[in-house]
Amino acid sequence: MQRTVTRILKEPRLTDPILIEGLPGMGFVGKLAADHLIETLRPEKLAEILSPHFPHHVLVEEKGVLRPMRNEIYHARIGERDILIWTGDTQPVTTEGHYEVVECVLDLAEKFGVKTIYSLGGYATGKYIEGMPKVLGIGKSGLIEELRKKGIQIEAAGGPVVGAAGLIIGLGQFRGMSGLCILSETHGILIDHRAAQAVLETLAGILGTKLDLTNLEEKAKKTEEAIARLRREMEAREMRSRVREEEESWYIG
């Protein structure tokens, strides 16, 4: 394998499909969001992508069962609308690999007639936020303003966007595809279901539809409870040690 290879498994005729990207990255937000779509929409797999720019591992899916690292393209429907979902185990490990894989996906997107791309991901802030995080967007000039006028909760993002989420939108422009990065603020080191929920809510708003996010909501709650518990324990421990210090100073005093 000299180059990235796309193995097409099915070629349904699609009407004006939308491409949604969600790969592992900051806070795993894009991957969690894509996984949720796959879990709830039960899509059909159209293609697998193998690349010499993926890590030279194989994954062990369950004990004793292996498979190479890959990216995948699924086909689902949200209402009447055809959706392609690009997800996978990994992003490429080299700069050149990023460009190569994105172009392979764009070839496929072009083949199926994609005109619009939404990429989902996290925007690291290094801070833990309680409640629903802010969602930021980057796309072509004027797009964010337009969405906000329609009542979509999204703010214009600054800073460069590293990796697939930015590159698929940036290079898609040369194929006449318009696109938007939908990025949720996230801590960066926590697996962030709440942020995945946030980007999917924004996506649903843009598509003018509803998505069942119950699962993500539950997982996010469990994480938040775990974090809250951890915090209470830490505070209690701190409290105890402060009490002890006071007692000791009382004895000493």
CB-CB contact of 52 with 104 (8 Å): no
Q: Nearer to its own copies by C-beta: 155 or 238?
A: 155
Instruction: Note whether 31 binds its own copies by CB under 8 A.
Output: no
CB-CB contact of 133 with 152 (8 Å): no
Q: Out of 151, 174, 249, 251, which residue is the one contacting its own copies (CB under 8 A)?
A: 174
Q: Nearer to its own copies by C-beta: 80 or 145?
A: 145
CB-CB contact of 191 with 223 (8 Å): yes
Looking at the DSSP bridge assignments, the partners of residue 136 are 155, 183
Among residue numbers 54 through 113, which ones bind its own copies (CB under 8 A)?
A: 54-68, 93-96, 98-100, 102-103
Instruction: Note whether 2 binds its own copies by CB under 8 A.
Output: yes
CB-CB contact of 186 with 125 (8 Å): yes
Instruction: Note whether 8 binds its own copies by CB under 8 A.
Output: no
Instruction: Note whether 120 binds its own copies by CB under 8 A.
Output: no
SS3 206: helix
Find the shortest distance in angstroms from Cβ 185 to its own copies. Answer: 15
Find the shortest distance in angstroms from Cβ 93 to its own copies. Answer: 6
CB-CB contact of 157 with 181 (8 Å): yes
Q: Out of 29, 49, 73, 138, which residue is the one contacting its own copies (CB under 8 A)?
A: 138
CB-CB contact of 69 with 13 (8 Å): no
Which residue has 């209690």 as its token pair?
236
Instruction: Note whether 166 binds its own copies by CB under 8 A.
Output: yes
CB-CB contact of 180 with 120 (8 Å): no
Q: How far is CA 112 from CA 61, 89, 96, in A?
A: 30, 23, 25
Q: Out of 38, 170, 188, 223, which residue is the one contacting its own copies (CB under 8 A)?
A: 170
Number of residues that bind its own copies (CB under 8 A): 57
Instruction: Note whether 53 binds its own copies by CB under 8 A.
Output: yes
Reading the block at residue 166, the tokens are 């930015």
| Cα gap 113→109, rounded to integer Å | 6
Find the shortest distance in angstroms from Cβ 163 to its own copies. Answer: 6
Residues that bind its own copies (CB under 8 A): 1-3, 7, 50-68, 93-96, 98-100, 102-103, 137-141, 143-145, 155-163, 166-167, 169-171, 173-174, 181
